[in-house]
Amino acid sequence: MSRPSPMLSQATPVERQGSGRPAGAVPAGVVADFVRQHAVAALLAVASIGGVFLFWYLGTRYQWEFYIRFRNVPTPYAVFQEAVDVVFSGQFSTHILVSLRRILAGFGIAIVLGVVLGLLIGRYRRVSELFMPAIEVLRPIPAIAWVPMSIMLWPTSEASIVFITFVGAFFPILLNTVHGVKSMDGVLLRAGRCLGAHELQLFWHVILPGVLPHIFTGLAIGMGVAWVSLIAAEMISGQFGVGYYTWEAYSLVNYPAIVLGMITIGVLGLACSGAIRLIGHVAMPWLAYVNGAKK
């Protein structure tokens, strides 16, 4: 038997691969495409938000009046001055932390109950027949209409505000989960049965992964509705929170503080929605490959 040539055994990884780059190296084209795509997205985001601020600045600078009036609207610089004044005060940070605590509590409860109940309603017809009539009756009631009832139901204003936040987030999460279960391909369930999976294994290994995209869609929608509900509840019955801060500024005719409260609500909502999208990418890594194949 002939022995392998010493020159072949001493070949470098580059020579063995024949690709001209070390093993495991990322192609320069991939990095360039990644940077290009994210750079374009960042520039478009800056242009979108910058356009809003430019419209705001021009309207207040030239006092536009064409059906909408900018006469009493504070300028961006006045709002910036207000932000500089309150950011270094502990009271404004307290308002933000209180609102975040309430949104996390109400939204967390809505995730647990909405996902679990949605899976059961979507999977079992009898459970759907039991719960869906009551859900369809309660769902059209806006969260703000629950404020008087929640004040009577719960012993503290804090609990009532968390409840209002929960109501706002619960129905979008529940209905998207139900829709995800009902729209699943029955072939997947039958395949799991044929492989010997019992009901709990079907839920964990087949139904839940298949429904995750719908669940995260419900989470994104529910987060937006939860913030709307939270701010409304804080304006009516709260003593702390960004909604209370904004309403108090309106009562004191402090226009820059009103706009600052609105911008703060938008930034907090954007951060929460971004966190949901990030968690969704981590929880569903296979979607990156599917989207890449589509492109």
CATH of residue 263: 1.10.3720.10
Domain total for the chain? 2
Q: Are residues 116 and 206 in the same domain?
A: yes
Asked if pLDDT for residue 66 goes beyond 70, the answer is yes
Are 195 and 136 in a shared domain? yes
Question: 161 with 252, same domain?
Answer: yes
pLDDT higher than threshold 50 for residue 154: yes
In degrees and rounded to multiples of 5, residue 156 shows phi and psi of: -130, 155
21 located within any domain: no
> According to the model, what pLDDT value does residue 5 have?
47
Per-residue confidence band for 91, with pLDDT thresholds at 50, 70 and 90: confident
CA 158 to chain centre: 23
Q: Which of 44-53, 132-141, 274-283, 285-294 bottoms out in mean pLDDT, i.e. has the lowest?
A: 285-294
Alpha helices, H only, 183-285: 186-194, 199-202, 208-237, 242-251, 255-283
Residues 237 and 265 occupy one common structural domain: yes
Q: Closest by alpha carbon to 264, among 279, 278, 244? A: 244
How high is the pLDDT of residue 29?
A: 60
Using the structure block, give the residue that is written with the tokens 């207000």. Answer: 82
What pLDDT, on a 0 to 100 scale, did the predictor assign at position 286?
78
Q: What is the mean pLDDT of residues 100-127?
A: 95
Question: Do 69 and 90 have their domain in common?
Answer: no
* In-domain check, residue 1: no
Q: How far is CA 192 from CA 118, 153, 183, in A?
A: 21, 45, 17
> Which residues have a Cβ under 8 Å from the Cβ of 102 and sit 6 or more positions away?
158, 161, 162, 165, 230, 234, 241
pLDDT interval class at 96 (50, 70, 90): very high
- pLDDT of 189 reads 80
Do 100 and 242 have their domain in common?
A: yes
Cα torsion 212, 216, 219, 221: sign: negative
Tell me: pLDDT of 124 over 70: yes
- 67 and 95 assigned to the same domain: no
**In-domain check, residue 152:** yes
Instruction: List the single range of 9-13, 124-128, 221-225, 238-242 with lowest mean pLDDT.
Output: 9-13
195 and 284 part of one domain: yes
Q: What does pTM read for this prediction?
A: 0.80
Whether 118 maps to a domain, the answer reads yes
- The letter for the amino acid at 82 is E
Between residues 194 and 13, the one the model is more confident about:
194
* Least confident piece of the model among 26-35, 50-59, 211-220, 237-246: 26-35
If asked whether residues 41 and 103 sit together in one domain, one would say no
Q: Are residues 140 and 43 in the same domain?
A: no
Residue 185, pLDDT score: 82
Question: Residue 3 falls within a domain, yes or no?
Answer: no
Q: Please say which residue of 73, 97, 129 terminates a domain.
A: 73
DSSP state of 146: G
For residues 201 and 190, what is the distance between their CA atoms, to the nearest angstrom? 13
Considering the domain boundaries, does residue 288 fall inside one?
yes
Residue 64 inside a domain? The answer is yes
Confidence of residue 33 (pLDDT cuts 50, 70, 90): low
Is the Cβ–Cβ distance between 148 and 127 less than 8 Å?
no
End of a domain among 19, 42, 73? 73
| Segments of the chain assigned E as strands | 65-66, 68-69
Within a domain: 14: no
Q: What is the mean pLDDT of residues 14-42?
A: 59
User: Whole domain around residue 153: which residue ranges?
Assistant: 76-294
Residue 194 has pLDDT above 70, yes or no: yes
> Do 85 and 225 share a structural domain?
yes
Does the structure show a pLDDT above 80 at 191? yes
